[in-house]
Every structure is written in C-alpha cells, then in structure tokens.
Amino acid sequence: MELRFYNTLSRRIEPFEPLEPGRVRMYHCGPTVYQRPHIGNYRAFLFADLLRRVFEARGYEVLQVMNITDVGHLVADADDGEDKLQAQAEKERIDPWELVERVSAEFFADLEALGVRPAHHYPRATQHIPEMVELVRRLLATGHAYRVGDNVYFDVHSFPGYGRLSGNRVEDLEAGARLEPNPEKRHPADFALWKSDPHHLMKWETEFGPHGFPGWHVECSAMAMKYLGESFDIHTGGEDNVFPHHECEIAQSEGATGQPFVRLWMHTKFLQVDGGKMSKSLGNVWNLDDLAERGFSPLDYRFFVLRAHYRGSLNFTWDALAGAREARRALNDLRGRLAAAAAGAAPGRAPVVERARTDFAAALADDLNTSAAVAALFELRNAFLRDGLEPAGAAAALDFLVEEADAQLGFLDPTAAVGPSDEEVEALLAERAEARAARDFARADAIRDRLQRAGIVLEDSPDGVRWHRS
RNA sequence: GCCGGCAUAGCCAAGUGGUAAGGCAAGGGAUUGCAAAUCCCUCACCCCCAGUUCGAAUCUGGGUGCCGGCUCCA
C-alpha cells in the first residue's frame, strides 16, 4: 500500500518517496523548555510518533530527530533582549539552566507516559552553538546574510524562494508588519541569524562579538543538517511554525548549501478547547496532570488525538475525552476477549480480519487517516461480538490488533505482567458458582470483585459464566 | 488591513459529485440475585443564501462563525 501525504509545500497529497530507498530521515520541531508542555503541544509530538510508527510498521529504517530549544528566542524580533526562557527563569528566581533541566525532565516523562517512542536524537540548541555559527558564516560567505555591528541578518531578497512555503509575499509582509521597523535591517522581513546583547543571561562569545546568541530559526537548520544531512525527507511542526519559522529555515538552509533542504513538510492543526483557542486567561491550558486529576490516563489522551485527522481541527472537551476513554476501554476489552477466544490457537484466515487489516492499512496510507483506521477496528469488534470467531480467526484478529493496529497507534494498555493463572481463575469461578447456588451473594460478589481487581472480566450469561483478561 | 484553513447528530469525528463511516452519550427491549459486560432496535438530509449539475455534505459565488499566519507559541 503506497503511502501518500499532504505536503504543505505543494499544497497537495503526494506519494511518498524517500531520498534513500527503505530509509526515512525526519526532523520535528520540539518544545521550548520554559514551561511544561500542555496537551496542545503534545498533539504535534504524538503526530510525529505516529509517522515514525507507520514507517516502521512498513519496514522503513527511520532516523528521527527532535530538537529541544533551551535558549531563549526573543520575545519580539526587536532589540530588547528579553526572551521567554529568561523571563520565566527570572519570574521563578532561578537560573535559566536550572529551568531548562526541570522542564526537559517533565517533557521526557510526559512522552514516556504517552507511549511515544524515543527519537534517535534530541539535540539541544545550546550544545550546537559552533554549528550555528558555522551556518551563519556560510550565509555571510554566500551573500545571503549581512552584518550590522555584532548582529547578523538574513537578506530575504537574496533568496527568491522566500514565501513559497507559507504563500506570503515579501511585499505583503512589509505592508502588514506590526513591528516597529528595525533600522538595522535592509528590509522589515529580514530576520536575525545572530543577535548580541550584553544583558542576556545565555550568551556566547564568538567571532560576531562577545555577547551573542542565536536568532530563533538557525538552531533547527543547523541541528537538522548535522544529524540528517543537508537534504532529508520530512520536517514537521505545528501549523504556527509554517511562517515564519519554517519559511526561514528553508531560506537559511538552502541559501547556505544550495541543496533542497526538505522534501515533505507536514503540519498539525492546533488543538482547540471548548470550541476556541486555548489560553491562559481562559484557564484551559491543560497538562497531563490536569487530565490525571480528572481520572484520564495519558493513553486516553493519545487515543483522543488519534481519533481525529492530524490536519483537521480537533476540539478538546472533557466530554469528548470521556468518549475517547470509553472507546479505548472497549478496544482493550476486545484484546482480552480475542485472547480468550483464540485459546492459544495459531492464527488462520478469517474474512472479517482480512477486511479490517486492509481497511486499516488503507486508511493510514491515505495521509494518516487515523479516524477511519480506528473505525476499522470497531468494525472488527462489532463483527466479532456479533458473530464470534473460530480460535484461528480470533488469533488472527488478536495478532492484527496488537501487532499492526497497536504497533502503529499505540493506545492499548500494557498487559498485566502477572495475574492469576487460568486454573486459579477457574477455581475461583467454581467457588463463586457454589456461593451463588447457595444464594450467598455477599461471598459471590466478593470473589467477583477480587477477580475484577486482578484484571479478569466476568460475563454472566444464560449459558454460564464466561471470562477474559482485560 | 493582507494571506490561509475549517464549519457534518447532545458530544467527538470520517466522508470531497451519486444519495451520510466509527465512537461516546441517550432511549426501548433481551439477559441478570444485583451489577457489569454483551446482544437486538432507535437516533443527522451535512452553518445560512444563491448558483452549476440528471444528481452536491462534497463544485462556484456571497454571508455568518471559529481557527492559524503577518508577533513568542505545537
């Protein structure tokens, strides 16, 4: 099944072809670690993980890089030296480096809880100052950059492709600029590659001056090229990154190397909350702890995100999250039921399983239509619950659910490491049956509760008790 | 002001020319010692207006609303 993805650059869905057969190299814009990422941030990171898993499921060797921005970008692209990281550090009266460590740890803990497979590299901006300086030097050499005192700017007029990704025109940018014009720049749309400010806490002495720090686009270009090469396959980020960030990255990278930077640009739509934008003033900027307080696991959130298409709007409400939790529970339950029905049989052929497999793969191949992919899982669940499956068919369904569906979507709960053996369960069930026959319901219910806590789901039916592991 | 996207049931969300996937919630019924789970049944003409077409949720034009970019932001 051929993979097809929407490319922001071409504004169309195109077949995917890696630069090197069988190998995918991709870069994801990661967090700025000045405060714990919220659920909106994780929509983009979960998307990156989905992409990686989809490639791996198809046998690609994936090289994945996500940057950690640990140096402040300017609050405004002006001359005042304050940045978010520094501002937050000052607010908390701690060292910026300490803030970076704390938030990074929170970020990685969140990723793990969300079931995100670790990227191969998480480069930090501050550890790549030499690479950034080198990039700036190359841009000066190729005539794409100019120096004013200790500052260096990129000259957008020197790069004819500037605006191609975002659809902006340099002339319109000038007209719409709300910033105070920076008299140092030749054109208002020119952007800083290297800035200098003696008051900055995070600063480096370089050939451009004693108190410099990188402009806010160079890090991604420098680090992406270091780990992935001057040309690579995919670059992702939130829709807000399209302009100016990614537009500037293209200009910088291609201006320096003369090579195409990235083939495929993919962007996720912002998460909305209660039908509008998430904002601190509305008090709806939630993080994973806020979800946990209301009884939702990180995987519930992961599944909530995966039920929608990454390019479509997704509206977060507590009701919607509850719906996702319930749906996820049903699929976890399906795994247990299939395991019980398979009874150790070897996987065989079953039409409903084949159909689910085909529909699921086709949905993901079609620009990652996870919504339709999940629907295929429920079709399988409904068919199984309604008509049942022979052990071989159930085994095939289980194999598909775990090894294909969950391998790519990653929403199933980890299976219990230990639990009662089948014999123990059967013994307890026999004991419960005796108690029920004697109308000792207190004792019967106690056994039921005990089994439930051990992850055993009982089903009383007219034909007797059936059970499966959750 | 300039660019771009979206608008589907109570909630979340697929579908982009041939007559509305899936999930949650809800209601009715079956089953049950109670409960849970499960089974059967019910539940949308797709924001508004005007067009194109044999036929539109799907195309065009105009509204309205929300979101993004032009300014740190996934």
Task: For strands A12-15 and A151-154, give the pairing.
Answer: unpaired
Give the pLDDT of residue A174. Answer: 64
Identify the pLDDT of residue A175.
55
Q: State residue A79's pLDDT score.
A: 37
CA A48 to C1' B38 (Å) is: 37
Measure, in angstroms, how far nucleotide B14 C1' is from residue A391 CA.
Answer: 32
Q: Which nucleotide is nearest to A366 (CA to C1')?
A: B14
- Identify, with chain letter, the residue nearest to nucleotide B13 (CA–C1'): A308
Contact (Cβ atoms closer than 8 angstroms) between residue A441 and residue A307:
no
User: How many angstroms is C1' of B63 away from CA of A316?
Assistant: 28
Q: Following CA atoms A197, A202, A208, A210 in sequence, which dihedral angle do they give, to the nearest 10 degrees?
A: 80
The C-alpha atoms of residue A137 and residue A206 are separated, in whole angstroms, by: 11
- A271 CA: nearest nucleotide by C1': B74
Nucleotide with C1' nearest the A272 CA: B67
Q: Whole-model pTM?
A: 0.94
Residue A427 tokens, joined: 């013994």
**Residue A131 and residue A125: Cα distance in Å, rounded?**
10
In whole angstroms, B23 C1' to A313 CA is: 17
Closest residue (CA to C1') to nucleotide B10 in the complex: A319
Question: What pLDDT score does A328 carry?
Answer: 96
Protein CB footprint (7 Å) on chain B nucleotides: 1-7, 10-15, 21-25, 31-40, 66-74
Among A185, A337, A198, which Cα is nearest to A177's?
Answer: A185
B12 nearest neighbour residue (CA to C1'): A320
Tens of pLDDT, residue by residue over A212-234, are 999 889 999 999 999 999 999 99
For residue A308, give the nucleotide whose C1' atom is nearest its CA: B13
| Distance B43 C1' – A454 CA (angstroms) | 37
Task: Using the CA of A28, give the nucleotide whose C1' is nearest.
Answer: B74
User: Distance in angstroms, CA of A325 to C1' of B11?
Assistant: 13
3-state secondary structure of A169: coil
The nucleotide lying nearest A45 (C-alpha to C1') is B74
Residue A238 CA to B13 C1' — how many Å?
20
pLDDT of residue A72: 63
Q: Which nucleotide is nearest to A175 (CA to C1')?
A: B2
A151-154 sheet: strands from edge to edge:
A145-148, A151-154, A191-196, A209-214, A204-206
Q: Which nucleotide is nearest to A333 (CA to C1')?
A: B37
Q: Which nucleotide is nearest to A374 (CA to C1')?
A: B22
> Is A229 exposed, middle or buried (CB count within 10 Å of its CB: 0-12, 13-18, 19+)?
middle
- DSSP letter at A68? B
Question: How many contiguous H segments (helices) and E segments (strands) does chain A have?
Answer: 16, 15
Find and give the residue nearest to B24, measured CA to C1': A323
pLDDT of residue A76: 39
In Å, what is the separation between the CA of A232 and the C1' of B8? 38
Rounded CA–C1' distance between A12 and B48, in angstroms:
29
The whole-angstrom separation of Cα A374 and Cα A363 is: 9
Q: Which of A107, A28, A123 is nearest to A71 (CA)?
A: A123
Residues present in chain A in total = 470
Interatomic separation, CA of residue A330 and C1' of nucleotide B42, rounded (Å):
22
What is the per-residue DSSP string for A140-151? HHTTSEEEETTE
Protein A28 CA to nucleic acid B74 C1', in Å? Answer: 10
List, run by run, the mean pLDDT of 10-residue segments along chain A (470 residues). Answer: 89 92 96 91 96 97 95 48 70 84 95 97 94 95 93 91 86 59 80 87 89 89 96 94 91 94 93 86 89 95 95 92 95 94 93 95 95 96 94 96 97 82 89 90 89 86 84
Closest CA to A444 of A429, A455, A457, A456: A429
